[in-house]
Amino acid sequence: MNLRLPHLAAACALASGAALTALPAAAAPVRVCSLPGTPTAALDKAVAREAFRTAGVVATFAAPGVDGSDDDGVSAHELVRLLERDCDVLAGFPRSAIADASDTTLLFSQGYLRSGYVSVTRRDAAASTSGREIVAATYASPAQLIAVQQQNAHFDLENTSEQTVAAVASGRAHRAIVWYPAVVAYQAAHPKQTFRIAPTSSPYTAWQLAFAFAPRSASLQQRIDTALTQMKRDGRLAALTRKWTLPANALEARNADAMPPVAGSIMRAGFVRARGLPAGGGFIRIAASTAEHAPTFDAAQVEHGRTLYGNACAKCHGADLEGNTAPALSGPSFAPLSHSHLTIGGVFGYMATNMPADQPGKLKDEEYADLMAFLLASNGYVAGKSKLTADTARASTAPLVVGPAGHQAAGQ
């Protein structure tokens, strides 16, 4: 039973940001977890503590247990199991327009931190004397997808965002594309290190951190949303997130819908081998025209590619290619109606060299071709009678736009 506060106490509670209603005294504390290894763990805990206090909800903080697997990333299925088994709320869940986990049964609060991927250099860094800079990025993350759009670059792929920042700090890389909170966390641990921060322009750049809830916690989600709104209004949320907020120049220049313009039709890039990662090359070519038609594929390849995708790709990219902990592989952010910045050959070459994330290049050429057929079919292309080969897919300079079936659906 909720106790009614006297009017004076209620006014004081409102002034201090406390909620007027509290959970019954006998209710078990709500268990709050952060994503494993996140650089925003301290922020997530601070925001959660204040939001739950404001909502009048008793909370405890638990260390999540995510099972290991043969692939990088944490799947939506694992997150649902985490919320059923170990946690009631997951703090610091990253959501964006291209990977919002909207296909799951999870519930989400409003965002409490707008952040994203930035370009980082050391303030005292000298320019590259070779004319080709080394760009560090976190392996199998949106940072890698942004990094491959850079011209005349070698790539230093690191296993964690902390190592990515360290690559710049130590001078192993001239520049890094990295999750901005990782820069904040690194500077907190190394206060004498300073960096220059610049924006990046990509569909994979902008994200919001939010709280994720299991379906059974709809009423709790509403209470926390109300608390976050109150914290925004009275300035408490801004005070908690101030040092984590993107610099003004990164916010002003951000355009999540545009890819950076690149002169010429092909970006040439080499990869510097990172610790524990296979050496490899790969780049995504930029479409110079829309004249070339997409290569053909047959229906059997689509079905085999669907199976391969479910086994090797769905965990990170989503069961329906909608994006989860990795970007979407369908929809306008991947295959727009027109004016694509990616080519089919570029995407195929990148996929065959760098994916799956746990063991890049582990599939056979014909399996990568079948995966490409499945991706094309999932983005509006119609199967024909000719089989798609790896050589044909790799050589294609056709822009990756939505196929004929997708255009018909868009016109309805």
Q: Which residues, listed in sequence order, are joined to residue 113 by a DSSP beta bridge?
A: 209
Q: Of 252, 284, 317, which residue sits at a domain end? A: 252
* Co-location of 364 and 224 in the same domain: no
Preceding amide of 356 cis, omega within 30: yes
Return d(Cα 309, Cα 291) in angstroms, integer.
29
pLDDT tens track for 285-342: 333 344 468 899 999 999 999 999 999 998 878 888 887 666 778 887 777 777 666 7
| Within-domain flag for 10 | no
| Within-domain flag for 282 | no
pLDDT tens track for 160-192: 889 999 999 999 999 999 999 999 999 999 999
* Co-location of 78 and 173 in the same domain: no
| Within-domain flag for 142 | yes
Q: What predicted TM-score, i.e. pTM, was given to this entire model? A: 0.59
* Co-location of 211 and 346 in the same domain: no
- Selected residue with higher pLDDT from 363 and 156: 363
* Co-location of 143 and 105 in the same domain: no
Q: Residue 266: pLDDT above 80?
A: no
**Token representation of residue 149:** 């759009």
CATH code of the domain containing 166: 3.40.190.10
**Angle at the Cα of 268 from the Cα atoms of 267 and 269, rounded to 5 degrees:** 115
pLDDT tens track for 80-99: 777 778 889 999 988 887 66
**What was the pLDDT predicted at 159?**
78
Return d(Cα 306, Cα 378) in angstroms, integer.
9
Q: Which domain holds residue 138?
A: 114-124+131-197
* Co-location of 246 and 344 in the same domain: no
Beta-carbon count within 10 A of 185 CB: 21
* Co-location of 304 and 373 in the same domain: yes
**What is the number of domains present in the chain?**
3
| Within-domain flag for 108 | yes
